[in-house]
Chain A
Amino acid sequence: MSKNGLSLLLFGIITSIVNGPVTAHDDAPDVPSMSARYRLEVTDEECRTRQGPEWWLIRESSRVVTAIPALDQAEVWTRDADTGEVTLERLFHAQRRVIEYTPGELRTRNAEPDWHALGSVLDPDSLKTLEATGTGEWRGRPVTMYRGTIGGERIEVDWLSVERLPLRVDRSTRRSRSVLTLLALDPSTQRASDEVQRVTPLYIRLDSADFGDMESDPFVQAVEALDGRNRRWAHGGGHVHAHAAH
């Protein structure tokens, strides 16, 4: 999914856009619908630990929603059942705005996601590069433990193999450590969806293709500045996780 092969899809578009397109997994199995709540903790080189806001993943067969309820923001990825084309809507509830990304726009921005990685928080294929060190159980669900090093980072993943979601991802370098932990899992997606997808007709819908002609719009300026910061952090490797903890 990323340059180092194991990027956490903490912010959907953020990590996907900056990491570029990846190969499709047409042979990947269907995954069960699920809503999951995560929290990220980041420890810097001075041993200061910061806890990020809750991060939600809502996964259905043709839709993946990621959300940070504390920021009142969500990203809704939808895949067309016939064409396989993916569209994205970014929801900014506080500003009552929706940004739409058509399939062509995602391609143009080098932001087409790997659908299966999107719904599994991390690219399941990247687990193959790690060593399976044991098995266990979490609330009656089988867990496989993986360990290894990717791109200079030490990685530990406790993987819910049926749900195809991480229970815990621990990444560390000499300078920092980030731990993503699953807080709750729910096979129902309705309640979480209702909470993060409450778009009303008065929301303004923007086509991301129009951003170039909306440079004086304060909302567009703010989004482009945010994306620019995230691009820098993502290109800086683990820095994206530090951002998640802010």
Chain B
Amino acid sequence: MKHPIVRKTCALAVAFAVTGTSFVPAAFAAQPATGGPESVQDWWTGGQNFIRQGKQLYANTRRAKNVILFIGDGMGVSTVSAARIFDGQNQGKKGEEHMLSFETFPYVALSKTYSWDQQTSDSAPTMTAMVTGYKGREGQLSVNHTTTRGECDAAVIASKSLPTILEQAAAAGKSTGVVSTARITHATPAATYAHTSVRDWEADNNIRAFEAAYGLPAGSCTVKDIAAQLIDVSPAVRASLKVAMGGGRSYFYPNSVFDPENTSSRGVRTDGRHLPNEWVSTRGGASSAKYVWNKADFDAVNPASTEHLLGLFERSHMQYEADRNNGPTGEPSLTAMTEKSIQMLKKNSNGFFLHVEAGRIDHAHHAGNAKRALIDTVEFAKAIKKAYEMTDPNDTLILVSADHSHVFTIAGYPARGNPILGLVKEVPNVDGDPVENAVDSLGLPYTTLGYANGPGWRGSLPTNSAVRPTLTEAQTTAVDFLQEATVPLGSETHAGEDVAIYASGPKAYLVRGVMEQNWIYHVMKEAFGF
């Protein structure tokens, strides 16, 4: 709790100044150094507007023609709050009053992210929960929780597989799409189309290495790797899956073939399969199916004449938005990929299911690098705004959530409008005094944003005799700055608290209260009317 104000000027209390009809000590008559632009009336008006809008809400009980599931990987509530302030401040506002696009959605709930076997989960069981309706095991994708760790028999995996909302949408004649800034074979996007007991089996070489490590005969594991599963989907999904875009190119190329962009690197597949070529050849050939790997080719894709689009823009994950090359040889933004996807999917009068993941919020947090996480979150919000604008909220259910949180905190008592990436500066005790850095018990400044653990720990820096460094505003707002962490870990970790669900469209009213994460699937299923 903040300590009570110490009236440093009490000795001057006999000096009065006239302010309106009140007598105010002169020392307290100065303008506050911080504060928002709002008038007193604005607070009341805002609250009344909120009530009026709420009264106008009605439960949209229609079936959803389309469902879009947006997942910010690792986008906990603190990430959303910090990104909101960051985005607002970049627009010249104080920041706190700002709203990211999806924060204006009418329905919000909390999602409990534990999995069958984890208190704090990874992306595999959490996305499994959201797209199948069942909580699963750590590291497993869209199989039930009775699946043995490392199970590699294709028949057993088939018997344990849980149908996903994407597969059910395909069976219902809808178009489908998967987009991510992570590898398209990474856990979150992969859970929509793949079934496996090990999320790391993204290419066949990983399965071969597993066999070698556990003394299994080469080729004895019959389950397909995740990249191959994307190509070898059921006939219904093959016809339905119009768009798959993200990173992970090396998992789709044989190890005999050089990468088209990083020409000194090859693919990793040992089975000789060239999956991008197979994507094109098994989906109607070059006249209807396309494979692109750079922004120029992506931009050139005509959604009207393209039936199936595979985009693999990096060998591994796509770049952070902060680092993205927007030139012809670079890669598209998440917003651009979302827009192109919806253009293609909207061609189906039966509707569509689309999953869009901002996959790298998670990675930036793991690196202890808040600024990249926030920039990716802001880009995620832009993609959602684009999707909302391109669809009809009366027939399109848009859900926005996260798979899990991170140990990312917004700390101290920074004054209104304090730069979210900066050092904490508190409201001064006396109006008119300037804001100054708050200091810890060692007399050192500290940042608003920080992590409970991770690589930002600086306890052993020899440059300071204290246990913490003396930070400057210039350092902490730089894109490469790693926020301080309490516990030194090579990678910052996920966190176990709930994440938010934001909903708009048909059946969005079903998103309410504190929900189990797997209930998100049930909302989508209900909305589709399956």
Contacts and interface: CB of A to CB of B under 8 A. Distances in A.
Interface stretch (B54-62, B317-325, B379-387): B317-325
Interface string B355-372: 000001011111101001
Contacts of A236: 460, 462
Contact of B493 (A110, A207, A215, A223): A215
A130 to B, nearest CB: 22
B233 interface: no
Given A96-B209, A108-B372, A201-B205, A207 B460 contact: no
A205 B270 contact: no
B509 to A, nearest CB: 34
A245 B482 CA distance: 30
Interface stretch (A37-45, A140-148, A171-179, A227-235): A227-235
Contacts of B372: 108
A202 B205 CA distance: 6
A110 B482 contact: yes
What secondary structure prevails in chain B residues at the interface with A? Answer: loop
Contacts of A109: 367, 455
A228 B490 contact: yes
Given A3-B462, A109-B367, A209-B363, A204 B205 contact: yes
Contacts of B488: 228
Interface in A173-225: 201-205, 207, 209-216, 223-225
Nearest to A62: B264
B429 to A, nearest CB: 37
Contacts of A96: 209
Nearest to B200: A214
A212 B363 contact: yes
B475 to A, nearest CB: 11
Given A235-B460, A235-B461, A202 B209 contact: yes
B122 interface: yes
A104 B320 contact: yes
Contact of B212 (A104, A107, A202, A225): A202
A163 to B, nearest CB: 26
Interface residues of A, number: 37
Nearest to A98: B268
Interface in B286-343: 314, 316-317, 319-320, 323
A224 B491 contact: yes
B489 interface: yes
Contacts of A235: 460-462
Contacts of B314: 102
Contact of B250 (A203, A205, A237): A205
Most buried by A among B323, B362, B488, B492: B323
A110 B208 CA distance: 34
Given A100-B316, A201-B268, A204-B205, A108 B489 contact: no
B206 interface: yes
A83 to B, nearest CB: 9
Contact of B462 (A102, A216, A225, A237): A237
B362 A224 contact: no
B320 A108 contact: yes
A3 B362 contact: no
Contacts of B362: 212-213
A5 interface: no
Nearest to A100: B316
Contacts of A205: 250, 268
A69 to B, nearest CB: 23
A209 B480 contact: no
Contacts of A107: 323, 479-480
A103 B323 contact: yes
B240 interface: no
Contacts of A33: none
Contact of B208 (A103, A108, A202, A224): A202
A53 interface: no
B323 A104 contact: yes
B187 interface: yes
Interface string B121-133: 0110000000000
Contacts of B139: 216
Given A108-B320, A212-B492, A213-B366, 9 more contacts: A104-B319, A109-B367, A110-B482, A207-B316, A211-B490, A212-B362, A212-B365, A212-B493, A216-B138
Lowest 4 A-B CB distances belong to which pairs? A212-B366, A224-B490, A212-B491, A104-B323
6 contacts: A78-B264, A202-B209, A209-B367, A215-B491, A228-B490, A231-B460
